[in-house]
Structure 1
Amino acid sequence: MPQTESMPPRPQRCSTQGTQMLDRSFEILQAIAARGEAGASIEMLSAETQLSRATLYRLLKAMKSYGFVRLPRLRGHYFLGYELLTLGAQAGNTGGLRELARPALMRLSEAFQDSFFLFVQDGYYALCLEIQEGCNPTKSFAHCVGARVLSGVGQGSLALLSHMPTAKRNEILNHNAPRLLREYGIAADAVREAVTQVRHQGYTCGLTDKILPFYTGVAVPIRDIDGAAMGALSSALLTSRLTQAYQQRLVETMRREAEVIAERLSTILERA
């Protein structure tokens, strides 16, 4: 069963002498991140990265000085450093999108008692920048801020795909097509049909997949003055709860919030 990906698959590296240390450092960070709350010991990192203990200690010491890794005890497991959280927050709020969307998500969650999300495009994935959980039980592919969902899966990614240049969208779908079909039971042609529908009606309820077949939601794009999607507001709830009347109210409210965010972002960019 495919899981939400907090980090994308590692790309094929083409290292040069000048970037070898950077490559190794990034491998170490990925290995620590993969261990989550448990952290990673030197033995674990050595097995994962195939680096010697001496090299690991040298690189970890340097990354610790920059705040990229931390060692809570004198001896023990390494964890990702808080400086990464600071950098991530700054990266996630480019143009002020995350800060502007947060109160909108809170209002939506309070009004509907469902869970709401902010997504942006990140390569072949939709990246979750913010979550506001509601009281109603639900399941979603994005279980935390920073989670990546394969483009084509879920309503948020469809809203983003529907408002990007055709060439870029085709590249993403051609790349993701094998995984979409194999892991989620979603055909690329079905995604293309859904994209056309989103562009016509302005929102999407996503496509039924074999992982979470009893859950759905609504997503609307946050578009700039040229019509491109800067992000997408998305919701998640049980399919049985999404009646026609509820869907209409949900779509209208989310559209208004998306329009307000887009207008404020436009004002910020004009002043910059």
Structure 2
Amino acid sequence: MSNDHQTPGAQSLRRALHVLRTLAVDHDSGMSVTEVIASTGLERSTTHRLLTCLVEEGFADRDGKRRYRLGLEAMRLGFASMSRAPLVASYERLLKWLCMKTEDTVFLIVRQGDYSVCLRREEGAFPVKIFSTRVGDIRPLGIGVGGMALLASALDEDIIRIKSRHGKQLESAGLPSGIIDRVISRTRHKGYCEMLDTVTQGIAGVSAVIPEPSGTPFAAITVAGISQRMTTERRGELGQLLISALNEHA
């Protein structure tokens, strides 16, 4: 970390940022204190003090096995800077077109580790708006139709780990393991995800992942509206519309 032009008096801040960058490299599996020490070269007492502070402030997270990952506050900062990210810019016209076509609310959802984050929302002409999801909202994968679409696209072992780690939050949202498994199976069969009155009563949505030829999809587009509008037939139509639109855009 040596640099002839480092700002005097900022050593502690610089060390904390170095720890954050280190956690970001291995966010999915997490890192032990020993692994952070090996990667940063910091002393154990310094590393432990910085990690404890980062956890207290929400910039790092420690699980039951004492492994550290980026926390929600770190994610919020990262995604706050992405309002004009290449992904948003690339899909902005499609989001607006879907919004005009459906008259409902359209969301761009991305995956970050175990979580889904709303990057963009477009509101349609229908007078009843959907406020259950806002830009910057972060939820465990599976909570919300976009997060469920992304969860269904994950590897089976990844799904098992996420269900185990976030089981309490998923169950609190009305999503016990059995329901999640059924939704994932249906999503994989149809190619899109649909949820009705599951997380928020009176709200329904349809979501499909953005094709990712080089690996596992990390983003999805969702159309959401009040349940009365989202009949079985309309959900099917929206699902096919999303699949077609995303394939044409790819």
TM-score in same-fold range (> 0.5): yes
Q: Specify the SS of the correspondent of 1:121.
A: strand
Equivalent residue, structure 1, for 2:63: none
Q: CA deviation at 1:107?
A: 0.7
Higher RCO structure (Cα 8 Å, ≥6 apart): 1
Q: Specify the SS of the correspondent of 1:109.
A: helix
Task: Tell whether the 8 Å contact from 1:153 to 1:207 is kept in structure 2 after alignment.
Answer: no
Which residue, out of 225, 240, 246, partners 1:252? 240
Which residue, out of 122, 130, 136, partners 1:139? 130
Q: CA deviation at 1:114?
A: 0.7
Q: CA deviation at 1:242?
A: 1.3
Task: Tell whether the 8 Å contact from 1:119 to 1:130 is kept in structure 2 after alignment.
Answer: yes
How many residues in Structure 1 have an aligned counterpart in Structure 2? 195
Q: Distance in 1 between matches of 2:248 and 2:49?
A: 45
Name the CA shift for 1:138/1:18 in 2 (closer, same or farther; >3 Å).
same
- Structure 1 unaligned segments of length 5 or more: list them: 1-10, 31-83, 264-272
Q: CA deviation at 1:189?
A: 1.5
- TM-score by length of structure 1 reads 0.61
- Structure 2 unaligned segments of length 5 or more: list them: 1-29, 34-43, 60-75
Which residue, out of 12, 17, 40, partners 2:46? 17
Q: Specify the SS of the correspondent of 1:120.
A: strand
CA RMSD of aligned residues (A): 3.2
Equivalent residue, structure 2, for 1:196: 185
Q: Residues 237-266 of structure 1, C-alpha deviation per residue, up to 9 Å, x if partnerless?
A: 0111113443233222211232244x2xxx
Equivalent residue, structure 2, for 1:150: 140
Name the CA shift for 1:178/1:27 in 2 (closer, same or farther; >3 Å).
closer
Q: Percent identity?
A: 21
Q: Distance in 2 between matches of 1:28 and 1:193?
A: 37
Which residue, out of 81, 85, 90, partners 1:89? 81
The answer to whether structure 1 residue 206 and structure 2 residue 198 are counterparts is no
More helix by percentage: 1
Name the CA shift for 1:168/1:146 in 2 (closer, same or farther; >3 Å).
same
- TM-score by length of structure 2 reads 0.66
Q: CA deviation at 1:117?
A: 0.5
